[in-house]
Amino acid sequence: MGLVGFGRNGLVSVASVLAMTITLFVIGTVYLGGNFLNSALTEVKNKMDISVSFKTDALEADILALKKDLTLLPEVKQVSYSSREDELLAFRDRYKDNATIIQSLGEVDNPFGARLNIQAVEPVYFDKITRFITGRNSPASGGASLVDQISYKKDVVSKLSNLIDTSKKLGWAVALVLALLSIFAVFNTISLAIYTSREEISVMRLVGASNSYVKGPFMVEGMIAGVVASFLSLALLYPAVLWVRSVTANIYGGINLVAFYFGNFGQIFVILFVSGIVLGLLASYWATRRYAKI
């Protein structure tokens, strides 16, 4: 009977399904977007490192000894060494199309010092690692001054984290507002269905039909709207992730939102399906309580 009622209401049912589809699409987008941004953040964190450039006269043995000590620190994930020659080669490769720079390089000795790139377990350890290097580098510790410069971009990670958190909160706030609107849309649809069936409801109550018998078809109508909306929103998310991939391919490189969509398809489906049913049930329960005196 709920299915019949859903079909009978025609355009009104379509309107409520549309409202719920938009809501569920936003929920799906926030979920996908949030997870995607978290992945991006992890990628960024992994690419964050402390770059230690050494003086040109620093001995390789001393640098490698420092590298070994750094590797032993629990805060350090990985240390990679780039010799003076490696740095020169990398520079030549970066500017290979600039004849002036390449020519001027040939006229002087290798101006580059060796480099250590240090990946921390978490960016929050950058300061500690830097202090360790500085401490080893100071003449007071008995070590020769090897280090030319230490650089890292700690602030980028925390700013990015804040941005992601704020975006997620905003996304969920929008989803909540849309959820309330879609509940209202379904509420109106069910209320109209109750009004249309008021004679039948009156006779049902008169003859002593149970509350669940009277209420049931309207609850089912609400659920059907939610289920249909969840399938529609899931289907709409696919072209959306394809579009995002094409637009952001150059920005995010290897991170593939489409792969994430298919990889977590089951989870996304469950979230949207359950959300759709909950929204539909809430709206129809409210309508039956208000208008069917049930």
Partner 1 sequence: MIYFDRVSKIYPNSIALQDISFTVKPGEFVSIVGHSGAGKTTLLKMILAEEAPTSGNVFFDSIDIHKVSQNQIPKFRRRIGSVFQDFRLLPNKTAYENIAFTMEAFGRSDEEIKSDVPHVLDLVGLDDKLGSFPFELSGGERQRIAIARSIINQPDLLIVDEPTGNLDPITSAEIIEIFKKINEIGTTIILTTHNKKIVDSLGHRVLTLERGQLIRDDKEGKYAL
**Pair type for strands 147-151 and 115-120:** unpaired
In the bound state with partner 1, the residue whose beta carbon lies nearer, of 11 and 206, is 206
In angstroms, give the least distance from the CB of 22 to partner 1.
34
In the bound state with partner 1, the residue whose beta carbon lies nearer, of 155 and 199, is 199
What SS3 state is found at 29? helix
Tokens of 43: 């990628």
In the bound state with partner 1, the residue whose beta carbon lies nearer, of 257 and 294, is 294
In the bound state with partner 1, the residue whose beta carbon lies nearer, of 131 and 289, is 289
In angstroms, give the least distance from the CB of 199 to partner 1.
6
In angstroms, give the least distance from the CB of 160 to partner 1.
56
d(CA 235, CA 135): 58
In angstroms, give the least distance from the CB of 194 to partner 1.
15
Q: Which residues lie near partner 1 (CB under 8 A)?
A: 199-200, 202-211, 213
- Which residues share a beta bridge with 118? 50, 79
In angstroms, give the least distance from the CB of 281 to partner 1.
19
Are 60 and 113 spatial neighbours (Cβ–Cβ below 8 Å)?
Answer: no
Check residue 112 and report its DSSP letter.
Answer: P
In angstroms, give the least distance from the CB of 291 to partner 1.
16
Nearest to 275 by CA among 215, 231, 221: 231
d(CA 2, CA 225): 10
In the bound state with partner 1, the residue whose beta carbon lies nearer, of 88 and 209, is 209
d(CA 93, CA 87): 10
d(CA 97, CA 80): 27
Q: How many CA atoms lie within 13 A of 93 on its CB side?
A: 6
In the bound state with partner 1, the residue whose beta carbon lies nearer, of 204 and 227, is 204
Strands (E), the chain: 50-54, 76-82, 115-120, 147-151
In angstroms, give the least distance from the CB of 218 to partner 1.
15
In the bound state with partner 1, the residue whose beta carbon lies nearer, of 128 and 289, is 289
Exposure of 119 by Cβ count < 10 A (0-12 exposed, 13-18 middle, 19+ buried)? middle
